[in-house]
Amino acid sequence: MTVEKEWLDFLRDQYPKGSGIRLSEQTDALSPVQPGSRGTLEHIDDEGQFHVRWEDGKETVLAIGKDRFQVLPPEPQTLKFYMPLTATYRSYDSWGDPSDQGEEMDGRDLRRYKGSIQETLVENRMPQEAARGLMHWYDKQDGVEAKVQSVVFEVEDRDGQLWGVAECKVIGELLPEEKETLAEYISGQASDGWGEGFEQRPIELDEGELYVSLWNAGDWSIQTEDERFSPDAQTRLPDLCWSVLPSDGTLICIKRGESGYYVSDWNTDNPEQNRCLADYNNERRGITPAQEQAMLTGSMCGWNVPGADPQWYKSQQHGGMTIS
């Protein structure tokens, strides 16, 4: 049976993976499921059929107009983006005023102030952000707006240092480009939006004042929990990365597993500027040169060739640059 693409897109948009299913009646099944059973939507195939995994582990297919069932909204999942924290500490002088000279601190130093920083983050939230947090200020009508219920800044003590965390509640599954759009939006809020106001707000301590930054111009990146803390994070392929075409320096985006590339919206007529943009975006997302090269090779030559593995570039010489 041929199903129009527009109808499939509508179904998949309305009923994302993870939606709950409550069965009323299933017909013509070799192993029918009992009415009243609950399950989870795995995917909708090209014929518009709902593939469901039931609570007892059984998997069956349901068809609209043939089977009777109710689709329930999926439970929101938590997606976290981690960012390194920095701060300036200004001690009080004998008059009780903060000194002009500040002491710079990083995430390791800030662990002992976790409670005070978290409390100030909560106090800094505006009344308009009560329901959706930073998503209240998001001004695009796209997949991010539809799927991301809320985003709030938190802090988390992990791996011996305090991290800034953007905690996101997400319905369904973000596409790679939607995840990058969300990361870009959070970066902007951390640097120029919400975070700019927060870093100007003193956190009063017993001996001085602390000014915490969610973003800094130095060694800064924003990564998901998997990207930041998985043991193989530096050697596997990212969902998406930026690169430049070897032929003419065009700025491109590459999706893992897909042949070819997409010309980036940020592409310019200057190959050197495009190279800088690719480096900036990749570094901000924690993507290494070896991962970029593997993504470029995979998109051009196939994802099963040795060059599509970042580990292949360890200590390899490419274009006069050692990638490691």
| 256 and 164 assigned to the same domain | no
The domain boundary residue, chosen from 72, 88, 121: 72
| 119 and 168 assigned to the same domain | yes
Question: Percentage of the chain surpassing pLDDT 90?
Answer: 74
| pLDDT of amino acid 322 | 40
Average pLDDT on 251-261 reads 96
| pLDDT of amino acid 323 | 39
Confidence of residue 316 (pLDDT cuts 50, 70, 90): low
Question: Percentage of the chain surpassing pLDDT 70?
Answer: 96
Please tell me whether the overall predicted TM-score, pTM, comes out greater than 0.85 for this model: no
| 191 and 267 assigned to the same domain | no
| 145 and 221 assigned to the same domain | yes
Q: What is the pLDDT of residues 78-137, one digit of tens each?
A: 999 999 999 999 998 878 788 888 899 999 999 999 999 999 999 999 999 999 999 999
| 175 and 258 assigned to the same domain | no
- Looking at the structure of the chain, the number of domains it has is 3
d(CA 176, CA 173): 9
Average pLDDT on 40-58 reads 92
Domain assignment of residue 129, given as a range: 77-225
| pLDDT of amino acid 314 | 73
Query: Would the pLDDT of 315 be above 70?
Result: no
| 180 and 98 assigned to the same domain | yes
Query: Would the pLDDT of 203 be above 80?
Result: yes
| 167 and 272 assigned to the same domain | no
Cα–Cα distances in Å, from 274 out to 55, 136, 249, 269, 284?
50, 32, 7, 8, 15
| 221 and 260 assigned to the same domain | no
The domain boundary residue, chosen from 225, 258, 293: 225
| 119 and 207 assigned to the same domain | yes
Query: Would the pLDDT of 319 be above 50?
Result: no
Confidence of residue 273 (pLDDT cuts 50, 70, 90): very high
Between residues 199 and 92, the one the model is more confident about? 199
Tell me the Ramachandran region of residue 258: left when phi exceeds 0, alpha when psi lies from -120 to 50, beta otherwise: beta
The domain boundary residue, chosen from 225, 255, 287: 225
Q: What is the pLDDT of residues 285-301, one digit of tens each?
A: 999 999 999 999 999 99
Average pLDDT on 194-198 reads 95
| 316 and 199 assigned to the same domain | no
Confidence of residue 320 (pLDDT cuts 50, 70, 90): very low
How many residues belong to the chain? 324
| 176 and 313 assigned to the same domain | no
CB 223 within 8 A of CB 81: yes
| 176 and 94 assigned to the same domain | yes
| pLDDT of amino acid 1 | 62
The CATH number of whichever domain residue 45 belongs to comes to 2.30.30.30
Q: And the tokens for 277?
A: 């943009």
Using the Cα atoms of residue 103, residue 105, residue 111 and residue 115 in order, give the sign of their dihedral.
positive
Between residues 227 and 18, the one the model is more confident about? 227
| pLDDT of amino acid 219 | 85
Average pLDDT on 6-20 reads 88
Q: Where are the beta strands (DSSP E) in the chain?
A: 20-25, 38-44, 50-54, 59-62, 68-72, 77-84, 86-91, 103-106, 148-158, 161-170, 203-204, 208-213, 223-224, 240-244, 251-255, 262-263, 316-318, 321-323
The average confidence (pLDDT) of the chain is 91
